[in-house]
Structure 1
């Protein structure tokens, strides 16, 4: 193997420089006893690093779970069925690596795309990259993991919300509202006025009856209402307004959000 051959070369060079024969032989013995470096630990992304990450994913595949995942909308061509805790463990082993994240996303394997969000460097995301990722989403879990692990921590996230909320494609539109829901939880320093200004997006999309859109719209409304007592009132007001709409999806979004937020009480902080 190349790494052991290199160690033998070092031993020969050391002997040529005056090291004793026994000491030089120790280099070879150590080389034979050690293990080769893990390609996942290399500092720079290269094709072997991508190949190693994909090999780890395939080793963790659960083909027996694919039918069950598909029934819950977690499909997509090439899905391996890797469990999310396994993806998170692999992401910790990889560390943040933006170039690897971009390469993983472009494989179009849903599991690799979820891993991409976990290893991406949010500060390095560009609007073009984020739009490219959103356009390539084919399942709700891929969408939500990208929003949770990468997009929400990007300085470009807030402006992406209305852009994606206006899209027609189901998962692109979902991304706008999933990101709004995640931002309501994780962007702690954002002013309440910013979230109030996003409520019209929820009202405008409430008539979309597609399952993965309406659930994200509902999620965003509930998370805004739970963020603070100051946001509870406007969120409840919108929920009650949606309950009076003709569209079935709007009534469902409004009634479900009203039920959850009413339990918290108007103006009372969530415990």
Structure 2
């Protein structure tokens, strides 16, 4: 959408729109999850849709440091235009969980550098960065496992899952469940690891949602797959 006839939106235009959509109550709720913005995500996506794909705008919005602005930046960016070093720097600067998750899911996964970054981040000493490597590894486990040492992944999960920091623990747990769901030969071991470690067993799960406790998660997804 144009700020004027034929004029692309500027980062200042977008940030002004987002500021007008700010809801203090929503910010309060989001802050409980360490997400420091108060914009409804449906409305935020509408702002991004109106702006259209605009990589220069994405770069400017990211540079603003504003959380809602960065979420719009991710939605309007062209992932293939980022270099590996640029994405690495962006991830290390993305400490807000929603920004981190969207950056990995909407940009890094679509980048030609995804495998290079997955490998580099997987064993990074920063647990937040490492969590991105584990999330990307889960994606490979499900879609392109050739070349991965799946038993070795389970070894690492078994050794480190219980004591991992929260975001890394969540990512490792997802990888454990993904191995169990997509690789029947390793399913009994994945379930046994989950049952022994009991990570996220008591996580509050809303009605109709699947528990993140790996044995339950694996069993439920496999049941659905079998039911067609």
Q: TM exceeds 0.5?
A: yes
Which stretch shows the higher mean deviation, 208-217 or 52-61?
A: 208-217
Aligned pair partner of 2:52 in 81, 92, 95: 95
Deviations 1:13-68 (A, max 9, x none): xxxxxxxxxxxxxxxxxxxxxxxx5259645xxxx611111111111111222222
**Ranges in structure 2 where 5+ consecutive residues have no aligned partner:** 202-211
CA offsets 1:103-129 (integer angstroms, 9 cap, x no match): 211211111111111111111121111
How high is the TM-score relative to the length of structure 2? 0.77
User: Corresponding residue for 1:220?
Assistant: 175
1:264 and 1:205 mapped to 2: Cα distance?
A: 24
1:84 aligns with 2:31: no
Residue 264 (structure 1) shift? 4.4
Greater Cα radius of gyration, structure 1 or 2: 1
Q: Secondary structure at the match of 2:10?
A: helix
Alignment of 1:140-155 (within 5 A): 140-155=97-112
Kept in 1: contact 2:180–2:191 (CA 8 A): no
Match among 134, 159, 164 for residue 121 of structure 2: 164
How many angstroms apart in 2 are the aligned matches of 1:166 and 1:238?
21
* Counterpart for residue 76 of structure 2: 119
Aligned mates of 2:71, 2:227 — CA distance in 1:
30
Aligned length: 214
Q: Output the TM-score relative to the length of structure 1.
A: 0.67
Give per-residue Cα distances to partners, 1:47-103, cap 9 Å, x unaligned: x6111111111111112222221112323xxx3x11221221111111122222122
- Measure how far apart 1:239 and its partner are: 4.3
Tell me how far apart the structure 1 counterparts of residues 4 and 168 of structure 2 sit (CA, whole Å). Answer: 40
| Residue 210 of structure 1 pairs with residue 175 of structure 2 | no
Whole-Å separation in 2 of the counterparts to 1:107 and 1:40: 25
1:130 shift after superposition: 0.7
Q: For 1:120 and 1:198, how far apart are their aligned partners in 2?
A: 36
Could you tell me which residue of structure 2 aligns to residue 63 of structure 1? 24
C-alpha change, 1:96 and 1:208, in structure 2 (3 Å) is farther
Residue 199 of structure 2: which of 239, 252, 255 is its match?
Answer: 252
2:88 is matched with which residue: 114, 118, 131?
131
Contact 1:242 1:253 in 2 (8 A): no
Q: Secondary structure of the residue that 2:146 maps to in structure 1?
A: helix
